[in-house]
Amino acid sequence: MTIVTVAYNSTEVLPDMLASVPPATPVVIVDNASEDRAEVHRVVAARRGPTRLVENARNLGFGSACNRGADGADTEFLLFLNPDTALCSDTLQQLVDAAERHPDAAGFNPRILDGEGRAVVKRRSDLVDRAEWLPKRELTGDTVVPVLSGAALFVRRAAFEAIGGFDPAIFLFFEDDDLSLRLSRSQGRLVYVADAAVHHAGGASSGGSVTSERIKNWHWGYSQIYTARKHGLRANCAAAVLKTALRTLSPATIVSARRRRKYSARFAGMIAALRQTGG
């Protein structure tokens, strides 16, 4: 397999992720115009094993960067892995074994563990019918899931290429939901692999400044509407806009500068998506 990771000001966490990857496994690092690019070069040079650095002149967003990293890969599998993760010693073998057990499956998620060792499972998506959502219970074996998390997404390269990879129109958020739907509809099932584990620190790549949070929330709103409209879910669009508008105008938001920034940015992103896609 080839591991693809997207870095954006991620050099505090990237070395630990790379250290967890077996030396013989190829890694492609796509740098999305980080401010610490010189340090990225140092981290890449320090890794023992095949490592390729792709440098974007500007931040292309997560999905487009993943696509660039996957270009040229000739391995049977791809693993899109966040830079703030770490593999266990048998994670890759467990994923390959799962792919052999489920030849009709196109994509897989390992058991993603948070900082306290708890499994974080993506059980639902607004793009998926509620009847397909997973109940809140521990998953102890291989389980078919409605969507995959992009934090550690293992996919057959042929299936990924057949659907054209990630949608480049999605800069950030919901790109894994969209990819999951397209995979499951045309390439095969999606499977959660309980025996393969990945530790995920979470939120360690792009910083937490006011400007950064505003940008992220704008893209959350934009992508939520864009993906819903893309998959023909107009009722979901209306519900999302109404819900966000009510939160924007709620007393709790009015008295909180942080909440005002959050929901006003999300609402602005939603309106931009509606205008771009014809209302």
Model pLDDT for residues 42-82, shown as the tens digit of each residue:
999 999 999 999 999 999 999 999 999 999 899 999 999 99
**Confidence (pTM):** 0.94
- The DSSP secondary-structure symbol of 131 reads G
Helix (H, G, I), strand (E, B), or coil: what is residue 55? strand
Residue-wise pLDDT tens digits, 78-99: 999 999 999 999 999 999 999 9
CA distances (Å), origin 44, targets 19, 27, 41, 67: 11, 10, 5, 20
Res 209: pLDDT: 81
Is 190 in contact with 148 (CB distance < 8 Å)?
Answer: yes
Q: Which residues are bridge partners to 55 per DSSP? A: 31
CA distances (Å), origin 108, targets 13, 32, 173, 190, 247: 24, 25, 19, 6, 35
- 176, two tokens: 């894994």
Res 269: pLDDT: 97
Identify the CA nearest to 9 among candidates 156, 211, 206: 206
- 184, two tokens: 């499951």
Res 276: pLDDT: 87
Cα 198 to Cα 113: distance, rounded to the nearest angstrom:
6
